Amino acid sequence: MTVTTEKLLTAEDLHHLSSQDVRGELLRGVLCETMPAGVRHGKTVIKLSFRLEAFVEPRQMGTILASDVGFLLEKEPDTVREPDVAFISARRLPLDQDVPGFFDGPPDLAVEIASPSDSPRQLFDKARMWISFGVPLVWTVDPEARTIDVHQPNQPLIRLSTDDTLDGGQVLPGFTCTVGDLF
């Protein structure tokens, strides 16, 4: 991730830049450009998104979103972050509501999948950032180690490996998946 230091940008500026093929996030008005993450990363995004969508859609629980969807978390200066996978409950985003820009607020579930350049500390920091903005459930996925860390406010970190079962807790009650099936 490259940090560009110029004038502080707004969420509207970022949305405009995306139409010019500039990809990134805003951290308190500062553009942080992101780069493509690779095949392993993309494959993990799809596998997890598919399983979540197959669970959520028939139950009309909400919306599953994959990479490149921005969440406006702070204003003046603006912070827009994009998890690799996200869930927003139907209570917060009605199924028939169209949102052409960024979602105003955090998701109910944020999933960060380690890119080849991410250190374990960076992945942990991303999870803590989502928690600090009120996300009740965050999963950090390490495709190389084949583990998933489950983060929740005021709860100890839980590390799951390939034979363990990932569940949706109170955010996605009834969702389960064997961790190894995601790799």
CATH at 40 = 3.90.1570.10
Please report whether residue 16 resides in a domain.
no
What is the β-pairing status of strands 30-33 and 71-74? unpaired
In-domain check, residue 21: no
Name the nearest CA neighbour of 151 among 162, 161, 143, 141: 141
Q: Is residue 15 part of a domain?
A: no
Q: Is residue 5 part of a domain?
A: no
Does residue 27 register a pLDDT over 60? yes
Is 19 within the bounds of a domain? no
Number of domains forming the structure of the chain: 1
pLDDT of residue 62: 98
Determine phi and psi for 18, rounding to 5 degrees: -65, -30
- Domain range holding 108? 36-182
How does strand 103-104 pair with strand 71-74?
parallel
pLDDT at residue 179 tops 90? yes
In 3D, which of 122, 114, 181 has the Cα closest to residue 143?
114
User: Contacts by 16-25 with C-beta closer than 8 Å and gap 24+?
Assistant: 23/68, 25/70, 25/79, 25/80, 25/81, 25/82
Residue 67 lies in a domain: yes
In a domain, 85, yes or no: yes
Instruction: Summarize the confidence of residues 160-183 as an average pLDDT.
Output: 97
The CA distance from 168 to 87, in Å, is: 11
Q: Give the mean pLDDT of the chain.
A: 91
Query: In this model, does residue 155 exceed pLDDT 60?
Result: yes
Give the model's pLDDT for residue 159. Answer: 98
pLDDT tops 80 at residue 25: no
Whole-number pLDDT of residue 5: 52
Over residues 91-117, the pLDDT tens digits come to 999 999 999 889 999 999 999 999 888
Residue 119: inside a domain = yes
